[in-house]
Structure 1
């Protein structure tokens, strides 16, 4: 189980942060669950006016995340790639992971990694934060970005 060992973190006030969520459109049901999870986390952390942008697929997340990082304190990237019978899965997963990491390191803005890389649709649905899901990766990725942005703000104030 991938959620095993997750920290139990209480939400903190992040109402002063500008936050953006960029979400892919493929796998509609899973993506709606991830976006809903992100919205639940934003509410729990007192972020009331986040920017939400949709892109065609997971491959497009890094370029839009890079643009959003210019004007936001935190960016959350949400997508899903389901393994198929071709190397497409490996290429898209690698490009998204490497690209989003580069955005965070080059911009100094935390990027919440909410990209599901699953063997099948059932695994994606189980992580999407839907009713009956065992995990809520949209919420988790958003909380991680917010907490990291809060930590960076503290470090940069010194």
Structure 2
């Protein structure tokens, strides 16, 4: 792979529905099992730690922000859908390959049903602009990649 590929920060999102639907079965502590699948997908396409990434689990930020604006501070979090997200610093080709790997690893069909989750999920892709100061947190993915390339 050419190190000069145009890279960007992307967030791949798996919408899991309401919190009670998205809770992992007992026996899972720490990372959400869907987040584990997302990380494994990244490692499978390029090798362990070759694409800088991290996962998160929680309420959909966009939906929570809208609900707060529309209904005020007293929005019940249990009524807001949750998601697992995977943030990566990757080329377009890697994101395309990763999207296919995630669909395969989650067993998602065209209707959105996931064999891994056992119900329908929503999938999304968000570009993350590093030009926006509110996204400075994501700079660590770029730094990880540059450190990795420098050590190769």
Of structures 1 and 2, the one with the larger relative CO (CA 8 A, separation 6+) is 2
Flag the structure with higher helix content. 1
TM-score normalised by L of structure 2: 0.32
TM-score normalised by L of structure 1: 0.31
Flag the structure with higher strand content. 2
